[in-house]
Amino acid sequence: MDCYQACEVALVADVFTKSKRSRIMALVHSKNTTPELIVRSTLHRLGYRFSLSSKKLPGKPDIVLSRFQKLIFVHGCFWHQHKGCKASERPSSNSDYWNNKLDRNISRDKKNIAMLKKSGWDVLIIWECQTRKNLSLSVKLAKFMKRPNKRLRSSSASALKIEDGHTGALTIDRNCAP
């Protein structure tokens, strides 16, 4: 089951028993989702190479382009609550649980993105529904990659830096100069 199907299932939460719902939710993947694969393929076609899912950066960005100091998150419209998107409608059953969970996701996303930007990263969020339009996705990614990063790290700022090379190891460099 990919993210598209999971979002559709989550919108009709009333029709399944708790045990069936649990089995369905267990099938939801957090890595290598269809939208992520589409974004990665598009970036690759545009000529960019990247690292995947840096677990050591806040929010665990899906795509890391350390050479360009850019990060991409591929957000599911339901799980990250894409405003105005049909897929972001909250289930009517167990609403307290879902409201708390989804509100925490939104809050955590804002906090993580703010920390990354403060550390000098340029951040782009691609929504699941945006991956269905190949041409506009390509244009959006190309514009993001070509725009200059105005958040260059200062030597006094505490910065997160991913070392280039085969290991992809992350170091925290508090006196990092660009």
For 155, the token pair is: 């030597």
What's the CATH architecture for 3-150? Answer: 3-Layer(aba) Sandwich (3.40)
> What pLDDT was estimated at residue 157?
36
Domain spans of the chain, in order of start: 3-150
Distance CA 77, CA 88 (A): 5
Please give the angle made by the CA atoms of 144, 150 and 153, to the nearest 5 degrees: 120
Instruction: Please list the residues that pair with 71 across neighbouring strands.
Output: 64, 123
> What pLDDT was estimated at residue 152?
55
pLDDT in tens, 136-155: 999 999 999 998 877 655 43
> What pLDDT was estimated at residue 86?
92
Distance CA 62, CA 164 (A): 17
Residue 129: DSSP 8-state: G
Instruction: Please list the residues that pair with 75 across neighbouring strands.
Output: 127
For 104, the token pair is: 């925490």
**Residue pair 26/16 in contact by the 8 Å Cβ criterion:** no
Please give the angle made by the CA atoms of 29, 33 and 36, to the nearest 5 degrees: 140
pLDDT in tens, 99-109: 999 999 999 99
- Intervals of the chain under pLDDT 70: 1-14, 25, 28-29, 151-178
